[in-house]
Amino acid sequence: MFWVEEGRKGSEVDLLFMAESANVPVISEDSVTLLLRPEEATAVRIDSVSFKNFGKIYSGAKFKVYVLLKSVETMGRSYQFIIRTYDHDFHVLADVGVDR
């Protein structure tokens, strides 16, 4: 899912560094309703929450899997990687979140 280059020092190879430096744009307004649950789409509009789409990591006959990054603007860092499965009509089937 992520390429980590050997030879880097310290925190330059962890997921936090990748989340903060990745050249992945924030999910656009037109994709918010497609990729996010209704309460997440509302949080994007009224709270300091953003999501990035790190892409599809699996596609099969019944579902596909995407990796999303949720970022909340707080006093510190608040990130959550979400592995989310969708049917082929983009209805959310399940997700797993990993906080950082």
| Residue 64, pLDDT score | 95
CA torsion, points 50, 3, 58, 44, in degrees to nearest 10? 0
Q: Answer whether residue 68 is part of any domain.
A: yes
- Residue 2 in any domain: the answer is no
The reply to whether 53 falls in a domain is yes
pLDDT tens digits, residue range 9-37? 555 556 666 667 667 888 887 888 889 99
Query: Residue 64: CB partners within 8 Å, gap ≥ 6?
Result: 56, 58, 85, 86, 88
Tens digits of per-residue pLDDT, 34-91? 899 988 888 888 888 889 888 899 999 999 999 898 888 777 778 888 899 999 999 9
Position 71 scores a pLDDT of 87
Residue 40 lies in a domain: yes
Number of folded domains in the chain? Answer: 1
Place of tokens 């603007």: 73
Residue type at position 85: T
Range of the domain at 56: 10-99
Q: Tell me which of 32 and 97 has the higher pLDDT.
A: 32
Q: Is residue 90 part of a domain?
A: yes
Six token digits for residue 8: 């880097």
* Strands of the sheet with 79-86, listed across from one edge: 49-59, 64-72, 79-86, 92-99
